[in-house]
Structure 1
Amino acid sequence: MQSLESGIGTARVEIPRASRFARHKVSAAVLAGLLVIVGLATAWNLEGWPGRVDDDEGTYVAQAWAIVHQHTITHYSYWYDHPPLGWVQIALFGWLTDGFNRVAAAVFVGRQFMWCLTLAACVLLYVLCRRLGMRRTTSAITVVLFGLSPLGQFFHRLVSLDNIATVWVLAALVAATSPRRGWGRACLAGACAAIAVLSKETALFLLPVIAWVLWQHTGADGGGAVDGAAVAAAGRTTSATGARVQDDADLGAAVPGTGASGTGGLGTGDAGTPAEGGAEAAPVWMPDFRAFAGQHSAEIARLRGLLRNPGTLLPGPATLGRLPRRVRHLLVFAATGCVIVALYPIYALQRGQLPLMWDTLWWQFFTRPGSGSLLDPNSGTYAVARGWVSSDPWLLIAGFVAALALLLSRRLRPFAVALLLQILVLVKGGYLPFFYVTGMLPFAALAIGGAADTLWDVADPDWLARRRGSLPAFARRWRGPYLGQGIVAVVALLLAAIAVPSWVSQLNTNSTANGDAPYLAAASWAEKNVAKGDTVAVDDYLWVDLKRQGLNPLWIWKIDPQTAPDGWKSIDYIILQPQSPGTLAGMPALQGAYAHSVLVKDFGNGLTVRRVTGG
């Protein structure tokens, strides 16, 4: 069976298997071309640009390295900051590809994984657009906007949990829009959504959107689709006689006592009758099971029916089967997601740290010092958002405008809300992570592509005929059949003339950057000049590289009485970029080491090595 889409509704028709692949070969060819373009653009100078701009990259890679090589969930004692599934996936990639033994800088393992995720996100975004009824052209434009914009190229390369969570959110949306009618799509959507949350907790904000999309794309009851109600009905039993009533086509069994093979009780022959004649009597010291089976054949038949259909033992499945189809699918989605997400608190409970986990989550979402509101020009949120827009104003601003327009489209409204909801969080004034924009990029691209696809339909003469009476006077006089195409073409040409040269210039400049050179030089210098037992204070970009060389690196955020019992005197070298006064004020041992150190070498981009002299 194959399902063909018409908007959100679905109709089930028989299609030969050969045509199923034939009708997708054009889309497959388009998608393959897109993957080649985006893949080459993203892989070009992947390690050199961006430079080492945020040491969260190094943190996640160091935690992944610890899973593979130290068999611990982090390189230091685990603290409840983010759920660990994100760097577990990086660790799996590093283990499968032998990445940590293959590359010069460990962070490149994470960036290679981000490259794979970018291609996976492009595939999922294209499939999602097609399942939403968008044309191949606008679906391809959506992927290009997502994959080639300078803002996307910057954040897709960086090792972040947001990149991982975004891919799983897209996977959940693709599952939710599946044309299949069974519970599997809801279960898969719930599983992907749960993995997204366990990869980065901010994915919680998008769970209502995923549920909304699942609701939209789940048909109403009827239509002949096999679901839980049919299965429950097929397994009902009669309490008086123990005879099982079921659908032969679904369960393929016969009613006991009719002579069908394999349905008799214990001690019966092939025809379902008790064994007679030459059968030997059971020894006196053994229970006579055949006699027992003959006396309780009805009860045994009923028990066998219950064991064959365990759902009939509980009232839950039957009750679930009587609910509307959409409600059932939402319940399956929620139950699957909750079961998987519950593994995280179960892990904390097993370690006796459940209160610590809840305290951390409460701090992350509610009490962590905020970055200010987007509406405040003096806030940190405004400064970060301004940096995003300066890098690429077209994707975010055009996506915002398109999302406002798509609120009028029932088909694409959930995706417009997904983008606007994330923008609303910026206005609220909570803490703004550096990688936050990553989750906005696919929805901004989809809003632009979806708006173009929707506006293109305005060209339909029937559309004008149906709505001419409700249009303004100047619009009622319009006789041309290409209104929508004209608007889309003009806007596209204007944006292409302005944005494309800027994009090409930025990507060309970035392709020649060499942001990894200072850190590679520092790691090489440390290997040749630092004694094995010396303690070297570093950020997490260098931690794994020095650890692989057999040195004794100390992550600056873990300088405490356990790791540095003599305070600054426990530190022999400092290899760091400049630290802000606020950071040093919270690290007295590091501040003291700086005060008693001398510059040894400058590697560029602010990265220096200093030797602590003790003077």
Structure 2
Amino acid sequence: MTLVIERPSPTADTAPVKPVRSYRSWWILTPLLVVAGLVNGWNLHGWPGRINDDEGTYVDQAWAMLDHGALAHYTYWYDHPFLGWAIIAGYAGLTDGFDRAPSGVMVGREVMLIAALVSCALLWLLARRLRFGRGWSAVAVALFALSPLAVYFHRMVFLDNLATMFMIAALAAAASPRRSVGAALWSAVWFAGAALCKETIVILLPALVWLLVRHTDRRTRPWNLGVFGVTFAVLVAAYPVFALLKNELVPGAGHVSLGWALWWQVFGRAGSGSLLDPSSGTYGLAHSWVDLDPWLIVPGVLLVPAAWFVPRLRPIALALLIQVVMMCRGGYMPFAYVIAMLPFAALLIAGLLAAVPTRVPAIAAGLVAAVLVLPAWTSTMVAQSHVDGSADSRAATRWVVDHVPRDSVVVTDDYIWLDLKLAGFTKPVWLWKVDTDPEVMTEVLPAGAASIDYVVLAGQADSTLASLPTLREGLAGSDVVERFGEIEVRKVRR
């Protein structure tokens, strides 16, 4: 296989590229978005099931913004910037989401569906600005939208989905054919939005700056980079300024702080191990991605070296390489980490196939897709369409609503917490706030475990209960009154 090696030239690297204004792009993109919407929206609430209560946390925090103007349903401790759940709150407010949806988390998943479709449109725009043909741009969008791995994570309420959407917008602005200061300005605005949704996205700054450099004229490059840097810095600085105004920038007695939260995020968490260690949590997480779908992330990563022979793909390859290297360092690896890798893997696969001067690799890829990829994807998506992974959680919630007094103290996860609040319960307690939030212990659990009436949870790991002794004591002194799959409703004995 021979790649077309692009040499830096006025035509390839610095000459202005006229914007493509053609209805033909819409004739291709519109059906793609319809198919993406159907695939990502079908059984939105049922698959994946309720497997990571970060979903509930972000939706609960959005509810708190609307209900009583707070940044979180408990004390906001700067775990993440709050733009992500502010977007969910805005959507819920405009659509009356928390009053109409069958469950609070469904509101967040609706926002994720919209974010996925916007990301698809932006990925098309980015691919076209990287001089992909319409056909290969469609391939990139299809990979990003239809892979079961992508669908699995795009549906869940993770800040990474919103941050990735803004990141793709920043890259598309940086690659603007106008090569103007305005393009640099908007690239900074969108990238700041990404950072204010999920701060870890800033590791991709080198790739974004490289793309911006490639798409600016040498004569105006200092101005463009200056505008980008100042705009991004000013917008992101609003977050620490906010903390400073609340006297919560640095650690101190009696209050949370941004400084402590950043320290905890970087150094305080137990590491997941390196991707290079087969016994590590990081390796196991990556293996689960491959089990779900090996046809997107694996080829994308393997093609990173080849992408260096295609100059227009080098910033995209760098973005994916940075994320792979971070997986090898041995630090904490978030469950949703793969989300920001998906668009770059899709672009590399489509971009490298487009760069090959002969049709043989494209034909071979098409045969592989027809024989292996599409049947596997179709089988997975058909199977998931019949799964209702949230049924047990909803059933447990309904039982509590029907049988437990509204003033009872119910310890539960963040999925069920909001649905109980919406049903009129006054004292639901998120399990992670037992023993860790002084306000909860003083006002809701003054007698410790004796203050708990019910516990509604799936089985918890010993390591979790070791850090929550009051919850452990409550569970030890309780009896199961109902069971819904793995979720037990326990009544604490007085």
TM-score range, shorter chain: over 0.9
Paired residue for 1:335?
230
The worse-fitting range, judged by mean Cα deviation, of 520-529 and 571-580 is 520-529
Distance 1:511 1:362 in 2: 41
State which of 417, 420, 430 in structure 2 corresponds to 1:555: 430
Distance 1:579 1:83 in 2: 28
State which of 309, 315, 327 in structure 2 corresponds to 1:414: 315
On the 8 A contact 2:60/2:72 being kept in 1, the answer is yes
Provide the identity percentage.
Answer: 45
State which of 221, 225, 228 in structure 2 corresponds to 1:326: 221
Equivalences for residues 140-539 of structure 1 within 5 A: 140-221=138-219, 325-355=220-250, 356-455=257-356, 458=357, 484-539=358-413
Distance 2:314 2:266 in 1: 27
Q: CA deviation at 1:164?
A: 0.6
Paired residue for 2:61?
63
Distance 1:59 1:6 in 2: 49
State which of 54, 76, 84 in structure 1 corresponds to 2:74: 76
Paired residue for 2:4?
none
On the 8 A contact 1:6/1:133 being kept in 2, the answer is no
Distance 2:181 2:391 in 1: 52
Aligned residues: 472
Q: CA deviation at 1:488?
A: 2.0
* 2:14 partner amino acid: G
Distance 2:120 2:17 in 1: 28
Q: CA deviation at 1:494?
A: 2.1
Distance 1:8 1:108 in 2: 45
CA-to-partner distance for each residue in 1:39-95, whole Å, 9 max, x for gaps? 001110000111001000000000000001111000011112111111111111111
Paired residue for 2:130?
132
Paired residue for 1:613?
493
Q: CA deviation at 1:24?
A: 1.7
CA-to-partner distance for each residue in 1:284-311, whole Å, 9 max, x for gaps? xxxxxxxxxxxxxxxxxxxxxxxxxxxx
CA-to-partner distance for each residue in 1:369-426, whole Å, 9 max, x for gaps? 2100001111110111111111111111111122221111111100011111101101
Q: CA deviation at 1:550?
A: 1.0
Bigger Cα Rg: 1
SS state at 1:36 partner: helix
On the 8 A contact 1:537/1:553 being kept in 2, the answer is yes
Change (3 A) 1:382 1:11: closer
Distance 1:118 1:8 in 2: 30
On the 8 A contact 1:403/1:448 being kept in 2, the answer is no
SS state at 2:362 partner: helix
Equivalences for residues 47-126 of structure 1 within 5 A: 47-126=45-124
SS state at 1:554 partner: strand
Distance 2:57 2:243 in 1: 21
* 1:391 partner amino acid: L
2:43 paired with 1:38: no
Q: CA deviation at 1:578?
A: 1.0
Distance 1:198 1:166 in 2: 11
Q: CA deviation at 1:9?
A: 3.2
Distance 1:8 1:57 in 2: 42
Change (3 A) 1:589 1:194: same
Let me know the Cα RMSD of the aligned residues: 1.4
CA-to-partner distance for each residue in 1:276-334, whole Å, 9 max, x for gaps? xxxxxxxxxxxxxxxxxxxxxxxxxxxxxxxxxxxxxxxxxxxxxxxxx1121111101
2:464 paired with 1:583: yes
Change (3 A) 1:12 1:520: closer
* 2:301 partner amino acid: F
Paired residue for 1:480?
none
On the 8 A contact 2:17/2:177 being kept in 1, the answer is no
CA-to-partner distance for each residue in 1:103-134, whole Å, 9 max, x for gaps? 01000000000000000000000000001100
Distance 2:365 2:97 in 1: 45
Structure 1 unpaired stretches of 5+: 14-19, 222-324, 459-483
Q: CA deviation at 1:96?
A: 1.2
Distance 2:326 2:366 in 1: 30
Change (3 A) 1:579 1:397: same
Distance 1:408 1:181 in 2: 24
Change (3 A) 1:50 1:6: farther
Distance 2:163 2:108 in 1: 15
State which of 575, 578, 597 in structure 1 corresponds to 2:478: 597
Distance 1:424 1:506 in 2: 30
TM-score, normalization by structure 1: 0.75
On the 8 A contact 1:535/1:573 being kept in 2, the answer is yes
CA-to-partner distance for each residue in 1:237-257, whole Å, 9 max, x for gaps? xxxxxxxxxxxxxxxxxxxxx
Structure 2 unpaired stretches of 5+: 1-9, 251-256, 436-440
CA-to-partner distance for each residue in 1:345-381, whole Å, 9 max, x for gaps? 0110011010121222133124432100001111110
On the 8 A contact 1:564/1:571 being kept in 2, the answer is yes
SS state at 1:428 partner: coil
On the 8 A contact 1:7/1:132 being kept in 2, the answer is no
SS state at 1:412 partner: helix
SS state at 1:373 partner: coil
On the 8 A contact 1:7/1:133 being kept in 2, the answer is no
SS state at 1:553 partner: strand
